[in-house]
Structure 1
Amino acid sequence: MIEQLPSLPAGILGFRLRGIVTADDYESVMVPDIEAAFALNRKVRSIIHLGDDFTGFAPGAMWDDVKLGFRHISGWERTAVVTDVGWVRVMSSVFGFAIPSHFKLFSNAQMDDAMRWIAEPR
């Protein structure tokens, strides 16, 4: 399941991933929000939280995640990933350099720091 993070400033998208995330979750929650944000903003920031209740991706969901990121490849200004999930931290560290935005990885205990970082002025 994917749900929106509440009360974020304009131009910042935030999502919390819980349980098993499916391709339908991307299509019904993330895609509309991302497309709407890019219709209003040339550059967008995002914060993604994968908490302790995140258990993984259903088949096809990871591919949807990759496609979604590349659809607006030059429009991502800043991306924060907040998680203590070991394999997600490893993958984020390994592939973070390939993300075409300023990318930073935070632990769950650093959620407030991640929120401040994603919202700080340019």
Structure 2
Amino acid sequence: MSDYHHGFSVSIERTGNERVVMSLHARGKLQHEDYETLVPMLESAIAGMEHPKIDVLMDMRELEGWEIRAAWDDLKLGVKHGRKFNKVAIVGSQSWQEVAAKIGTWFIGGEARFFEDKAPALAWLEETS
């Protein structure tokens, strides 16, 4: 029997009282349970911040997609906290991931960009806005 791996590897850092840097590595087909873990982590990280700015490095190179309920969870996350997202750097290798970056900009307060390599994505996140 083979185990199917899916979900997020997550790193969250607070910088001062305004900036949160979140690094996500998405793998497999995301499920509702993955968001039940991720969302409380994010909400805990921004708790007590008056005007949080969230920068995200999202590595999607091993992402296969979302189950329907997980896609709904992703949309709800964007609606609830989208204006707090400053920069979202999406690292991927598929054309649909580049399209997802463009569509993602509609749901956040900042900007989302697609990168094929991690180094330029990190450099862009570190630029001052």
Check if 1:23 corresponds to 2:29: no
Task: Say which of 85, 88, 98 aligns to 1:89.
Answer: 98
Find the partner of 1:37 among 45, 48, 51: 45
The runs of 4+ residues in structure 1 deviating greater than 4 Å are none
TM-score (norm 2): 0.77
Q: Secondary structure at the match of 2:125?
A: helix
Bigger radius of gyration among the two: 2
Choose between structure 1 and 2 for higher RCO, CA contacts under 8 A separated by at least 6 residues. 1
Q: What is the RMSD computed on CA atoms of the aligned residues?
A: 2.0
Which whole-Å CA distance do the structure 2 matches of 1:87 and 1:22 have between them? 19
Does residue 112 (structure 1) correspond to residue 112 (structure 2)? The answer is no
Which structure has greater helix proportion?
Answer: 1
Change (3 A) 1:37 1:119: farther
Unaligned stretches of 5+ in structure 1? none
Aligned residues: 116
TM-score normalised over the length of structure 1: 0.81
Alpha-carbon distance between aligned partners in 1 of 2:104 and 2:29, rounded to the nearest angstrom: 22
1:4 alignment counterpart: 10
Name 2:4's counterpart in structure 1: none
What are structure 2's unaligned runs of at least 5 residues? 1-6
- Equivalent pair of 1:12/1:119 in contact (CA under 8 Å): no
